[in-house]
Amino acid sequence: GYARMSVFTSKFKPRDIIGRSIIIHQNPDDYRSQPAGNAGKRIGCGLIKAV
Q: Domain residue spans in the chain?
A: 1-51
pLDDT of 36 > 80? The answer is: no
Is pTM beyond 0.85? Reply is: no
Q: What is the DSSP letter of 16?
A: H
Mean pLDDT of the chain: 88
CA–CA separation, 28 and 14 (whole Å): 22
**pLDDT value at position 3?**
78
Is residue 22 within 8 Å of residue 45, measured between CB atoms? Answer: yes
**pLDDT value at position 1?**
77
Interior/surface letters 4-13, b for 16+ CB within 10 angstroms, e for the rest: eeeeeeeeee
